[in-house]
Amino acid sequence: MNAKKIDRLVKMINQISLNMRSNGSEDLVVSQVSEHLEKFWSPAMEDLISEQQGNNNIGLTAIGKKAIVLLAAVQKAKFI
Question: Could you write out the three-class secondary structure of the chain?
Answer: CCHHHHHHHHHHHHHHHHHHHHHCCHHHHHHHHHHHHHHHCCHHHHHHHHCCCCCCCCCCCHHHHHHHHHHHHHHHHHCC
Residue 53 pLDDT exceeds 60? yes
Per-domain boundaries in the chain: 3-78
So what's the pLDDT on residue 60? Answer: 96
Q: What is the pLDDT of residues 28-42, one digit of tens each?
A: 999 999 999 999 999
pTM: predicted TM-score of the whole model, two decimal places: 0.91
Quick check: 5 pLDDT over 90?
A: yes
